[in-house]
Amino acid sequence: MSTVARMVDGSAVVSAKMRTDVDGGRAAEVNGRENEDTDVVMVVISYDMAKFQSMLADIKETKEELQEASPSEKEVLEARLRELRAPWSSSGTLRSQLPCTGQAVVVLRSQTEHREVLEEWDTFYEWLMTSMQCLKINSRQPRFRGRHVVRISRAANPSDILWENLGTSHRMRLWLRAKTYGIVALIFLVCLILVVALNWTLDWALGRKNTRNSGALATFSSLLVALVVMLTRLWASRTLRQRVMRQMHETKTTRDVSLLAKLALFYLMAYCLIAVLVNWDPAKGEWYTVGGLVSDISSLMLINCISIPLQIAFGCKLLLRYQAFFELPDMDQTRPFAKVLIAAVALFLEYWAFKASKELAILEIPRVGEHVDYYVAQRAWPKHQKYHTTNTFLRAVLAKFPPPGTRAAQKVQGFEILDAKARKLQPRAGKPQNDDEDDSDKEVDETKVAVAAEDPAALAMEEMKHKVPLSMLDAEADTEDEDEDGSGTDESDEEPGRRRDQDVLWCWLLAMRRALQLSARFGVHRDMWDFQQNAAVSIRQ
């Protein structure tokens, strides 16, 4: 016996007359790959599920008879029950009583071996030779126990396999499939005869299509033909579903694909082929006249739009079962509805709790006079820490380097700028740091104090001249400009102080632009960016 079955990924299904898993595993190890041993993890032998279910049914029936039997009959039924339960005492005894289907699931160790086995066994030639009993003698692969032809193929998912159908022979499946096609062909022939007879009757009663006058009777004739086709389609659909379920497919996927292919083929023949066969001659006006091909197809589409929803509505027993399944249980629903009302009231009160109102403020929020200090409030919320830190940095920069024409603020809302005198200056490069040195006796430059009082930005520029190395300056700062006559003038010789100040400020602006680009990811204000752009334009001028 040679059949084809499939199992999980990474496994293969072997079809042959196997009685034990030891036989199946040994056969797969030796013959899986040519001249190589295959590492087998597990072997599952398939037995006849129909026989298994019949044995369970006999035990259940005997138990029911034993409960209703008289005392004299109980001894006989008890002896029969012990006899039926005897095969279930051990796995070996049960295995000897159940017939094997000739199929085994072989799980291999690695995917590489699995692919090599399939490349060697699952070929078109082997499929053709094992598909028919008369050709299986031509198989080139090793035989099981020297005489049984083996067919190895890729497996499907375990939940996809119809285990109760694995015991059906290949010959029986072919017979059931041919029987289904014969029934469908008979239904199609009946539909064709009905449509042809109806068209002949209408032609005799109303006249030929090319001479038929348009009216209610002509339109009714087209609708009548479409109605016959629709009723035949419903009949064929129900019959096909029943017949395909009885074809003993090995997997659910092949069963569904078979049903889909048969329904699609019948719909194509019923909707298109019959209409063309009945109205095959366009020269006689059988296509575009009343009751012709176009009229029949239009009527068929109209009836489809009405009949399919009605079929779903009136034949939905499964839908009714699903509705009963998803109905709410018999329980008190007052508590959930009360919780919904409580949640709605809580949401309303939460809005008024956070509302910036002097009378209804329940949550204590830091305030500055009449208004809420949002910068202080943001510090209490973790989600605003990033936003608050970015604003602090930008405000510190604006306070230290104010735009032209403005004064530096000593205190910003939400934080304070540290006094410059309270910070220790970092030692310059190359100068050792002296922790014991006391800077309290050093004299303060009065010129710098005066400049800082009038313009803090100018003092910052003056200090950066000594802190920025000359190597950071742009190479264009030392270039010489040539006039129209070709003579060059060195601006650094004429105005060295002014040129140096501009170069230092330009380096500072380049550093500020880089810092603003990096901090733009955290939400840089547009005012700070505009100030930096305006300052760069003024320096270029």
Measure the CA–CA gap between 265 and 242, rounded to whole angstroms: 17
For the record, the structure tokens of 221 come out as 């004739």
For the record, the structure tokens of 203 come out as 């032609």
The predicted model gives 469-478 an average pLDDT of: 46
Q: Is residue 465 part of a domain?
A: yes
The predicted model gives 254-275 an average pLDDT of: 84
> By mean pLDDT, which of 80-89, 495-504, 523-532 is the weakest?
523-532
pLDDT interval class at 224 (50, 70, 90): confident
Q: Is residue 536 part of a domain?
A: yes
Cβ burial 156-187 (10 Å sphere, 16+ → b, else e) = beeebbbeebbbbebeebeebbeebeeebeeb
Domain shared by 281 and 140, yes or no:
no
> By mean pLDDT, which of 6-10, 44-48, 458-462, 519-523 is the weakest?
6-10
Domain shared by 165 and 185, yes or no:
no
Question: With 70 as the cut, is the pLDDT of residue 370 above it?
Answer: no
Domain shared by 128 and 158, yes or no:
yes
Domain shared by 88 and 206, yes or no:
no
The predicted model gives 111-121 an average pLDDT of: 76
Summarize pLDDT for 390-437 with one digit per residue, the tens.
Answer: 566 666 766 776 666 555 544 444 444 444 434 444 444 444 444 444
Report percent pLDDT > 90 for the chain.
0
Domain shared by 162 and 185, yes or no:
no
For the record, the structure tokens of 407 come out as 């004064």
pLDDT interval class at 21 (50, 70, 90): very low
Q: Is residue 3 part of a domain?
A: no
Domain shared by 166 and 176, yes or no:
no
Half-sphere exposure (CA, 13 Å, Cβ side) for 522? 16
Question: With 80 as the cut, is the pLDDT of residue 82 above it?
Answer: yes
Q: What is the pLDDT of residue 359?
A: 52
For the record, the structure tokens of 150 come out as 């083996």
Residue 481, C-beta contacts closer than 8 angstroms, at least 6 positions apart: 488, 489, 491
Q: Is residue 209 part of a domain?
A: yes
Question: With 50 as the cut, is the pLDDT of residue 5 above it?
Answer: no
φ/ψ bin of 28: left (φ > 0), alpha (ψ from -120 to 50), beta (otherwise): alpha
Q: Is residue 97 part of a domain?
A: yes
Neighbours of 524 (CB within 10 A): 18
Cβ burial 199-213 (10 Å sphere, 16+ → b, else e) = beebeeebeebeebe
Q: What is the pLDDT of residue 89?
A: 76
Q: What is the pLDDT of residue 429?
A: 47
Measure the CA–CA gap between 470 and 464, rounded to whole angstroms: 11
| Beta bridge partners of residue 192, listed in sequence order | none
Q: What is the pLDDT of residue 44?
A: 74
Summarize pLDDT for 140-149 with one digit per residue, the tens.
Answer: 566 656 566 7
Q: What is the pLDDT of residue 6?
A: 34
Q: Is residue 447 part of a domain?
A: no
Cβ atoms of residues 15 and 21 within 8 Å: no
Closest C-alpha among 17, 28, 10, 23 to residue 152 = 28
Total count of domains within the chain = 3
Going from the C-alpha of 29 to that of each of 10, 102, 111, 386, the distances in angstroms are: 15, 18, 15, 64
The predicted model gives 313-326 an average pLDDT of: 70
Question: With 50 as the cut, is the pLDDT of residue 302 above it?
Answer: yes
Q: What is the pLDDT of residue 137?
A: 63
Q: Is residue 191 part of a domain?
A: yes
Q: Which of 325, 359, 391 finishes a domain?
A: 325
Question: With 80 as the cut, is the pLDDT of residue 251 above it?
Answer: yes
Half-sphere exposure (CA, 13 Å, Cβ side) for 57? 6
Helix (H, G, I), strand (E, B) or coil at 344: helix
For the record, the structure tokens of 437 come out as 């040195």
Domain shared by 15 and 160, yes or no:
yes
Q: What is the pLDDT of residue 270?
A: 81
Cβ burial 32-67 (10 Å sphere, 16+ → b, else e) = bbeeeebebeebebbbbbeebeebeeeeeebeeeee
Full 3-state SS string of 39-56: CEEEEEEEECHHHHHHHH
The predicted model gives 232-249 an average pLDDT of: 86
Cβ atoms of residues 133 and 1 within 8 Å: no
Domain shared by 177 and 305, yes or no:
yes
Q: Which of 117, 138, 170 finishes a domain?
A: 170
pLDDT interval class at 489 (50, 70, 90): very low
Cβ atoms of residues 412 and 395 within 8 Å: yes
Cβ atoms of residues 81 and 59 within 8 Å: yes
Measure the CA–CA gap between 158 and 2, rounded to whole angstroms: 21
Number of H helices, E strands in the chain: 20, 10
Domain shared by 45 and 88, yes or no:
yes
Going from the C-alpha of 460 to that of each of 216, 357, 418, 449, 481, the distances in angstroms are: 99, 44, 16, 12, 29
pLDDT interval class at 389 (50, 70, 90): low
Measure the CA–CA gap between 13 and 117, rounded to whole angstroms: 11
Closest C-alpha among 409, 512, 432 to residue 468 = 512
Q: What is the pLDDT of residue 354?
A: 65
| CB-count burial class (<10 Å; 0-12, 13-18, 19+) for 377 | middle
Half-sphere exposure (CA, 13 Å, Cβ side) for 416? 4
Domain boundaries, position 59: 11-170
Q: Is residue 485 part of a domain?
A: no
How far does CA 260 lie from the centroid of its chain?
Answer: 25
Measure the CA–CA gap between 219 and 118, rounded to whole angstroms: 61
Q: Which of 325, 354, 388 finishes a domain?
A: 325
Measure the CA–CA gap between 530 and 453, rounded to whole angstroms: 26
Domain shared by 214 and 145, yes or no:
no
Summarize pLDDT for 178-208 with one digit per residue, the tens.
Answer: 899 998 889 888 888 888 787 777 777 666 6
Give the helix/strand (H/E) hosting 13. strand 11-15
Going from the C-alpha of 264 to that of each of 51, 172, 233, 236, 268, the distances in angstroms are: 36, 25, 11, 11, 6
Residue with tokens 């090793």: 142
**13: phi then psi, degrees, rounded to nearest 5:** -115, 125
pLDDT interval class at 348 (50, 70, 90): confident
Residue 327, C-beta contacts closer than 8 angstroms, at least 6 positions apart: none
Domain shared by 77 and 147, yes or no:
yes
Domain shared by 77 and 87, yes or no:
yes
pLDDT interval class at 480 (50, 70, 90): very low
Cβ atoms of residues 42 and 134 within 8 Å: no
The predicted model gives 101-111 an average pLDDT of: 77
